[in-house]
Amino acid sequence: MTNYPAIATLRIFHLASGKILLYFANQGYMAQSITLFEDKPLSLALGGELSPVQVAYQTYGTLNAEKNNAILLCHALTGDAEPALSGMDKGWWQDFIGPNLAFDTNKYFFICSNVLGGCKGTTGPSSLHPSTGKPYGSQFPLILVQDIVKVQKALIDALGISHLHAVIGGSFGGMQATQWAIDYPDFIDNVINLCSSLSMSAEAIGFNHVMRQAIINDPHYNNGDYYDGIAPDNGLKIARMLGMLTYRTDIQLAKAFGRETKQNGQFWGDHFQVESYLSYQGVKFLDRFDANSYLHLLRALDLYDPAFNYPNLNTALAKIKANYTLIAITSDQLFKLRDVQKSRQQLQDAGVNLNYHELNSNFGHDSFLVDYAFFEPLIKQALNG
């Protein structure tokens, strides 16, 4: 039996594949969980209700006496509530969070929660339905970014925080940050949107469609009710491989792999090194994500429209009172530069107090996760107002 350090807290998440994902959170980075919407169900934008809603969240830094230094971090599509971990594990924003870093834990109190519909501790399709005791599966309702934000707001309220210094997110998280500024204009001072436009392009929706079809057409998908049997791993693996190509750039792939082949490669399989890389990423993804969650979150990404329930986009954006920072990457192959530039114009037309930046990086869409030197001064500038 393995003896884990006494300072570590063990967290167990059961994935749709039947695997068990273990998380260890050390002192100072203690993951927590809270149950919300027990007395009054969560009403969803497209209809339906959820009750209760379990939310996994993580905090970093110290909330000051005035409670005016709180910042919400919103994760991207397949992220979780743990942007930074100590020890051997690394979080998805590991190099950005800490004393004197871009997200300075000496100054601010950071909160990050796993999104509604996810599979990392927050209620999603793989969670147990309270009426049946079995995973929701095909019975999990459709969700929008607006629903995700509503759950985040309930968490912030439950923590006794009445105002946020900022809401920050990249990619899918940038959409959440934008919606926060629309739905709760008097609640936040600053929005930082990294590598995300106000809506998905037709091309990006097309990529997501192909990924969904790979999962749905896996013979083990069973309309989403696969939890008692074999998970649609092949479909999810293929979906992830395609997704990885939208996060990377041709410059990266050429530099890393070129046309190199594997010594013992398979002619119809991993013959080239780049094919082996993609296959590895696909298999690796199976250990940490649920196919149903991937489907639901991809569709929420596609459907995001700030004008939902408003007469038009300008009316929705005109509600924003926060200082809004928008950062685009010229090599981004998912949120193309022209789409982010269009969002810049739409925000300006609505009278939003906008700070806009374009950065040249070879890391493409994933730049906001790894290119610290590019983002650090702009993030600090935005947080300083």
Beta partners for 58?
112
Q: Rounded to whole angstroms, how far apart are CA atoms 339 and 146?
A: 21
Q: Coil, helix or strand for 246?
A: helix
Q: Helix 145-158 and helix 172-183: axis angle, to 10°?
A: 70
Helices (H), the chain: 145-158, 172-183, 202-216, 233-247, 250-256, 273-286, 291-303, 313-317, 337-349, 367-370, 372-383
Residue type, 147: D
DSSP letters along 149-170, please?
HHHHHHHHHHTT---EEEEEEE
Options 189, 305, 332, 339, the catalytic residue: 332
Unique residue bearing structure tokens 């094919």: 275
Q: Helix 145-158 and helix 291-303: axis angle, to 10°?
A: 100
Q: Rounded to whole angstroms, how far apart are CA atoms 90 and 75?
A: 15
Other CB atoms closer than 10 Å to residue 370's CB: what's the count? 15
Determine whether 365 is an active site residue: yes
Q: Rounded to whole angstroms, how far apart are CA atoms 209 and 220?
A: 19
Options 171, 196, 276, 361, the catalytic residue: 171
Beta partners for 355?
325
- Residues whose CB is less than 8 angstroms from the CB of residue 222 and which lie 6 or more positions away in sequence, other chains included: 229
Confirm whether residue 299 is marked as ligand binding: no
Determine whether 51 is an active site residue: no
Q: Rounded to whole angstroms, how far apart are CA atoms 36 and 42?
A: 9
Confirm whether residue 366 is marked as ligand binding: yes
Determine whether 250 is an active site residue: no
Options 75, 165, 296, 365, the catalytic residue: 365
Numbered residues of the known binding site for substrate: 240, 366
Residues belonging to the active site: 171, 332, 365
Numbered residues of the known binding site: 240, 366
